A and B are shown apart, each in its own frame.
Chain A
């Protein structure tokens, strides 16, 4: 068996609480992230993504099952695991906000046992790479959310880890920052690092990952290629229109691939599709009928899951 960056087998985590039913956050999860791979873990909030990241980063113990990171067991060989990973937990927390970006990174460098001189050089390099050099000596509490997220990323790269665990790293980022982040992930892959990235954003999963595992209710539903994810997004696209005459509504309902035509708020119509190319047919019909107030939107992850799991006859494994 070759050493994968992450190898998880039968991983289960149950949270027990006083006077409440135990909650199963992970249910016999199997997952492999090969070396040098960017692997997405795509799932809605509460699916178990963060729980998995916490177990892989050794801050949470599993109830049962095994997890190896860079070949080391996350329960028995925590020191070796910690030496080889970088973690980015998403959100605003996790930084000493009253300190400067540089002070934060210098402390984290000490925690990664970097000699001071080396740490200074690496911190400066990371700040520059993340575009934070000009604000390096400002308190983190004055940073925008996107800047804080970039600082989180810089922190994750301290110690030059082989494997990166990125838990919702683009939460709160504006579209430009999110695009820059995607370029950074590509760069990190180019450096030979393995990356496990959790997200509930299908577009993100499609654009940065080599493989995407779908997770929901603590179970991995399956692993797909990013191309398949992209296909789902277009397949289950939604079209909104205003001022659609009744006879056009009837024509829309008759189009192949249209699963639902719903009139909302008196004048607004929502058309759902479930076949490749159906959205284009709906748009053409509307435009030909002289309807100009038209927009398309991507389906939510929950909607896609409903379609996908439904199509598979709830073949959850």
Chain B
């Protein structure tokens, strides 16, 4: 099982190397970073620069999950490779999780890229007072992002207008996930929805890692991020099984 997961990760890395369009979100992240930093600078809130960097990166990570990981199964369907994957003896869920893991790992390069842009364009650098916790939070965020993307991939196979569906999951989730604007600043009635999204917990904790004060209840918050990720894996697993059963029933495994 681990062998298959690693082979699928390696395979996806080969795909990304051969198809640079998978990296499109890493091309747009400098624009986001520059825009956020410019707005915050002009508003006289240079102290928010770390938030701008983190926000641009989190938006990129979410967009990659949505538009790249989310399309892996459907892309296989269009290429005519899904039939072969489904007819192979290996558990296809593991293969897709491996591929999603690679995409997610690559999307985290957006954080490095965003920080570099901030430094190169605006000369902004910022200390990381809780570096250990930051790394741990990033790892937990990556884990949960893979789990969440595993829901999207089968979901977009079901959607008749997947592209519209994807777009509708981008900006609302940037907002509800607190990627740029902390959830506490949102209207109160939105908070329960935000709390059900792992990204909002991850965004808050990541920002807290950049502040001098000790983050409050960090282990519990990490637990929530991981817990919601595990929930994502569970839902993704069930949904993938259901979707594959459905396409086998209605004869839409391939488009040929």
Cβ of B127 under 8 Å from chain A: no
Q: In this complex, what residue of A is CB-closest to B14?
A: A103
> How far, in Å, is B71 (CB) from chain A's closest CB?
14
Bound form: Cα–Cα A195–B130 in Å = 63
Cβ of A111 under 8 Å from chain B: yes
Inter-subunit contact A139/B86 (CB<8 Å): no
Of B83, B90, B254, which one neighbours A113 at CB under 8 angstroms?
A: B90
Cβ of A269 under 8 Å from chain B: no
Of A16, A87, A110, which one neighbours B11 at CB under 8 angstroms?
A: A110
Of B14, B79, B84, B248, which one neighbours A155 at CB under 8 angstroms?
A: B84
Cβ of B88 under 8 Å from chain A: yes
Cβ of A232 under 8 Å from chain B: no
Q: What does the 1/0 interface line of A266-282 toward B look like (CB < 8 Å)?
A: 00000000000000000
Cβ of B249 under 8 Å from chain A: yes
Chain A residues near B7 (CB-CB < 8 A): 106-107, 109-110, 116
Chain B residues near A103 (CB-CB < 8 A): 11, 14
Inter-subunit contact A107/B86 (CB<8 Å): no
Q: In this complex, what residue of A is CB-closest to B256?
A: A93
Known: A59-B248, A106-B7. A159 touches B89 (CB 8 A): yes
Inter-subunit contact A96/B81 (CB<8 Å): yes
Q: What does the 1/0 interface line of B212-255 toward A look like (CB < 8 Å)?
A: 00000000000000000000000000000000000011110110
Of B18, B88, B254, B256, which one neighbours A111 at CB under 8 angstroms?
A: B88
B interface secondary structure, majority: helix
Chain B residues near A108 (CB-CB < 8 A): 84, 88
Inter-subunit contact B248/A61 (CB<8 Å): yes
Inter-subunit contact A61/B249 (CB<8 Å): yes
Of A15, A93, A107, A113, which one neighbours B80 at CB under 8 angstroms?
A: A93
Inter-subunit contact B85/A110 (CB<8 Å): no
Inter-subunit contact A60/B253 (CB<8 Å): yes
Q: What does the 1/0 interface line of B78-119 toward A look like (CB < 8 Å)?
A: 011101111111101001000000000000000000000000
> How far, in Å, is B17 (CB) from chain A's closest CB?
9
Bound form: Cα–Cα A98–B20 in Å = 11
Q: In this complex, what residue of B is CB-closest to A90?
A: B256
How many positions in chain A have a CB within 8 Å of any CB in the partner chain? 38
How many positions in chain B have a CB within 8 Å of any CB in the partner chain? 29
> How far, in Å, is B81 (CB) from chain A's closest CB?
6
Known: A60-B251, A85-B87, A110-B3. A96 touches B8 (CB 8 A): no
> How far, in Å, is B83 (CB) from chain A's closest CB?
5
Chain A residues near B8 (CB-CB < 8 A): 107, 110
Q: In this complex, what residue of B is CB-closest to A141?
A: B18
Bound form: Cα–Cα A82–B95 in Å = 16
Chain B residues near A251 (CB-CB < 8 A): none
A60-99 interface with B by 8 A CB criterion: 60-61, 79, 82-83, 85, 87, 89, 91, 93-99
A132-170 interface with B by 8 A CB criterion: 139, 155, 159
Known: A60-B248, A61-B249, A107-B7. A96 touches B15 (CB 8 A): yes
Q: In this complex, what residue of A is CB-closest to B79?
A: A93
Q: In this complex, what residue of B is CB-closest to A56?
A: B87
Cβ of B4 under 8 Å from chain A: yes
Cβ of A240 under 8 Å from chain B: no
Bound form: Cα–Cα A155–B85 in Å = 11
Inter-subunit contact B4/A113 (CB<8 Å): yes
Inter-subunit contact A59/B88 (CB<8 Å): no
Chain B residues near A213 (CB-CB < 8 A): none
Known: A59-B83, A94-B81. A99 touches B88 (CB 8 A): no
> How far, in Å, is B115 (CB) from chain A's closest CB?
31
Bound form: Cα–Cα A99–B81 in Å = 13
Of B3, B15, B85, B248, which one neighbours A98 at CB under 8 angstroms?
A: B15
Inter-subunit contact B84/A82 (CB<8 Å): no
Cβ of B188 under 8 Å from chain A: no
Inter-subunit contact B3/A59 (CB<8 Å): no
Inter-subunit contact A113/B89 (CB<8 Å): yes
**Extra pairs beyond A57-B87, A103-B11 (18, CB < 8 Å):** A15-B250, A54-B83, A54-B253, A59-B83, A59-B86, A59-B253, A60-B251, A60-B253, A82-B87, A94-B84, A99-B15, A107-B7, A110-B8, A110-B90, A111-B4, A111-B84, A113-B89, A155-B84
**28 pairs across A/B with beta carbons < 8 Å?**
A54-B253, A58-B87, A59-B87, A82-B87, A82-B89, A83-B89, A89-B83, A91-B256, A93-B79, A93-B81, A93-B254, A94-B79, A94-B81, A95-B79, A95-B81, A96-B15, A96-B79, A96-B81, A106-B7, A109-B7, A110-B4, A110-B8, A110-B11, A111-B4, A111-B84, A111-B90, A113-B90, A159-B89
